[in-house]
Amino acid sequence: MPNKAKPAMFELHKISLKYREQTVLKDASLTIRQGESVALVGPSGAGKSTLLKHLRSLQAAKVAWCPQHAGLVPMLSAYHNMYMGGLGRHSALYNLANLLRPLAGPKAELQALAQSLALDAELYSRVDELSGGQQQRVAIGRALYQQQTIFIGDEPVSAVDAIQADKMLSLISQRHQTIVLALHDTQQALRVCQRIIGLKDGAIAFDLPSAQVTSEQLAALYQA
């Protein structure tokens, strides 16, 4: 099915996003359809996180959310932090039992997930004893374990090396129908996403298929 015939996951029509008196994004319109992978790029403060949070709020029940600040529980293991992505699928009693001693079902699922994130050796380590990149992969694991159809990630691989970052992003792509990411690395955005939305000065500067984005357009985004 061509993308245009697929259902819209997000439809924004001339929306403005603000914090108190500060307008971050003004009169922005965009549609993101099922099956698309979209990267938001633009300078720091352009409003990428603000737009992602808004998109998340529109589809809260369908979104796996990977925020910029991972918000992991430091004294708990990678296992327990990743398990938190699936808390809503089980009863409080089941979750408590699993906290005391990992249960067979989630244990097998999270061991497999940890393997795909190259975290098998760290699965039962406290996250405050892991490196920044390992912690970021735990946060990705927690988002993947939400098992949703839409993935929204705010700089989800900023702390891992380029090769591992591409592997993580391809894992995310395999497991979700629709992806929206804020990425600082524009080359990575072009490699991984089919569509690029450039934000600057409170507006959408361009919204194009990756193959049509020029280096001049990207450079202009970051010029003062």
- The span from the CA of 38 to the CA of 48, in Å, is 12
Q: Is 28 in the site for ligand ATP (CB under 6 A)?
A: no
Q: Is 19 in the site for ligand ATP (CB under 6 A)?
A: yes
Token pair, residue 181, equals: 């990411």
Q: Is 152 in the site for ligand ATP (CB under 6 A)?
A: no
CB nearer to ligand ATP: give 63 or 82: 63
Query: In whole angstroms, how large is the CA radius of gyration of the chain?
Result: 18
Residues in the chain: 224
Cβ 82 vs Cβ 134: under 8 Å = no
Token pair, residue 213, equals: 């984005």
Least distance to ligand ATP, CB of residue 72, Å: 19
Q: Is 156 in the site for ligand ATP (CB under 6 A)?
A: no
Burial class (CB in 10 A: 0-12, 13-18, 19+), 179: buried
Q: Is 102 in the site for ligand ATP (CB under 6 A)?
A: no
Cα distances from 68 to residues 33, 43, 158, in angstroms, run 24, 15, 9
- Using alpha carbons, select from 142, 154, 210 the residue that is nearest to residue 180: 154
- The span from the CA of 40 to the CA of 196, in Å, is 6
Give the contact letters, 174-213, x = binds to ligand ATP (CB under 6 A), - = no: --------x-------------------------------
Token pair, residue 118, equals: 């190259």
Q: Is 158 in the site for ligand ATP (CB under 6 A)?
A: no
Q: Which stretch binds ligand ATP (CB under 6 A): 1-9, 37-45, 110-118, 214-222?
A: 37-45
Q: Is 7 in the site for ligand ATP (CB under 6 A)?
A: no
CB nearer to ligand ATP: give 119 or 193: 193
Least distance to ligand ATP, CB of residue 214, Å: 21
CB nearer to ligand ATP: give 28 or 119: 28
Least distance to ligand ATP, CB of residue 49, Å: 3
- Using alpha carbons, select from 167, 79, 166, 164 the residue that is nearest to residue 130: 79
**Interactions with ligand ATP, residue window 40-99 (CB under 6 A):** 42, 44-50
Q: Which residues bind ligand ATP (CB under 6 A)?
A: 19, 24, 42, 44-50, 182
